[in-house]
Amino acid sequence: MHPETSLALHRVRAADLHTDADTHRRARAARHRHGLRARLGWILVEVGLRLASSAPRTAPALA
């Protein structure tokens, strides 16, 4: 194979790999943000349920 042809093929393949890597990084970052949002949401639900199920606190009567 001619050296120039080999070099051109290498450059095309390297560009494809860089594109794939960028796509993978973006997808992974988007998935991570969604996971954090879901965990935070469930924590807020748990806190709300604890507050709703606890006995209401009343202030001491001033006599």
pLDDT in tens, 29-51: 777 666 788 889 999 999 999 98
If phi > 0 it is left, if psi is from -120 to 50 it is alpha, else beta; for residue 59 that is: beta
Sequence-ordered strand ranges (E) for 1-63: none
pLDDT score recorded for residue 53: 85
What mean pLDDT is reported for the chain? 86
Q: Which amino acid is at 38?
A: A
Q: Which two tokens stand for residue 46?
A: 């748990």
